[in-house]
Amino acid sequence: MTLVWISEEERLPPVGEKVFLMSPRQGGGWWDARIAMILIRYEEVVPHSVRKGDLWPTEFYWSYGTQQQTCLVTGNAYWASLESINLPPGAEHYRDKVSHAIKQVDGLEYVVPARGTKQEETP
């Protein structure tokens, strides 16, 4: 599967679906990358795409992090479905009714160096 970036100008993900979000910082030419989801302030709100330069809505917003940080939908960010991210060997997407996670596939061996062994340095 190929990672597809979708602009906030084009469309937004469903409310509560975790996605990979890339948003430009206001100064300095850097991007912030995070796992985020669209949340709404009250039940009747229907999130919609936002064009660059439009007024930024406050009835819906991006939420991310363990401290429930937020940022506005500005039309400048891009998002991608977590399902479209290519995973390394030994990993697979896991979904249930309320969450999306990446889990290890059965049989994956996690190797830890034995105690008391010294790793050889390579020139």
pLDDT tens figures, 23-49? 998 877 899 999 999 999 999 999 999
Whether residue 25 is contained in a domain is answered as yes
Whether residue 92 is contained in a domain is answered as no
Whether residue 45 is contained in a domain is answered as yes
Whether residue 64 is contained in a domain is answered as yes
Model confidence band, residue 79 (pLDDT cutoffs 50, 70, 90): very high
Residue (of 22, 31, 29) closest to 4 by Cα position = 22
Average pLDDT of the segment spanning 102-110: 71
- Owning domain of residue 59: 6-83
Whether residue 88 is contained in a domain is answered as no
User: CB neighbours of 53 closer than 8 A, spacing ≥ 6?
Assistant: 75
| d(C-alpha 7, C-alpha 106), whole Å | 36
Amino acid at 88: P
Whether residue 113 is contained in a domain is answered as no
Amino acid at 86: N
Global confidence as pTM: 0.74
Please, are residues 79 and 8 in contact by the beta-carbon 8 Å criterion? yes
Q: How many CB atoms within 10 Å of residue 73?
A: 22
Whether residue 106 is contained in a domain is answered as no
Whether residue 53 is contained in a domain is answered as yes
Number of domains the chain contains: 1
* Cα angle 103, 17, 56; round to 5: 140
